A = this chain, B = another copy of it.
Amino acid sequence: NRTYSISVIPGDGIGKEVMPEGIRVLERAATLYGFSIAQTWQDFACCDYYAKHGQMMPDDWKERIGKPDAIFFGAVGWPDTVPDHVSLWGSLLQFRREYDQYVNLRPVRLMPGVPCPLVGREPGDIDFWVVRENTEGEYSSVGGKMFPGTDREIVIQETVMTRHGTDRVLRYAFDLAATRDRKHVTSATKSNGIAITMPWWDERVEEMAKNYPTVTHDKYHIDILTAQFVLNPDRFDVVVASNLFGDILSDLGPACTGTIGVAPSGNINPDGTHPSLFEPVHGSAPDIAGKGIANPVGQIWSAAMMLEHLGEVDAAAAIMRAVETVLAEPGLRTGDLKGTASTEQCGKAIADAL
Contacts and interface: CB of A to CB of B under 8 A. Distances in A.
A223 B222 CA distance: 12
A255 B154 CA distance: 34
Given A93-B193, A119-B119, 10 more contacts: A85-B191, A116-B119, A143-B158, A154-B161, A156-B196, A190-B244, A193-B244, A223-B247, A228-B255, A230-B230
A160 interface: yes
Interface of A: 84-85, 88-89, 93, 115-119, 138-139, 141, 143-145, 150-164, 190-197, 199-200, 222-224, 226-228, 230-231, 243-244, 247-248, 250-252, 254-256, 260
B248 A230 contact: no
Given A191-B85, A197-B143, A251 B231 contact: no
Given A156-B159, A163-B151, A141 B226 contact: no
Given A247-B223, A248-B223, A156 B155 contact: no
A187 B203 CA distance: 33
A252 B141 CA distance: 29
Contacts of A143: 158-159, 196-197
Contacts of A193: 85, 88, 93, 138-139, 243-244, 247
Contacts of A223: 247-248, 250-252
Contacts of A159: 138, 143, 156-159
Contact of A230 (B84, B117, B196): B117
B157 A162 contact: no
A191 to B, nearest CB: 6
A226 to B, nearest CB: 4
Given A191-B85, A247-B193, A155 B200 contact: yes
A226 B227 contact: no
Nearest to A200: B155
Contacts of A88: 192-193
B85 A195 contact: yes
B151 A164 contact: yes
A330 to B, nearest CB: 19
Q: How many copies does the complex hold?
A: 2
Nearest to A85: B195
Among A139, A161, A163, max chain B CB count under 10 A is at A163
Contact of A252 (B151, B230, B247): B230
A55 to B, nearest CB: 16
Nearest to A162: B154
Contacts of A93: 193
A163 B163 CA distance: 33
A226 B229 CA distance: 11
A117 B243 CA distance: 28
Contacts of A151: 163-164
A191 B160 contact: no
Contacts of A252: 223, 226-227, 230, 252
A162 B153 contact: yes
30 contacts: A84-B191, A88-B192, A88-B193, A89-B195, A117-B230, A138-B194, A139-B193, A141-B195, A143-B158, A154-B160, A154-B161, A154-B162, A154-B163, A155-B160, A155-B161, A155-B196, A156-B158, A156-B159, A157-B196, A190-B247, A193-B244, A194-B244, A223-B250, A226-B248, A226-B255, A227-B252, A227-B255, A230-B255, A230-B256, A248-B248
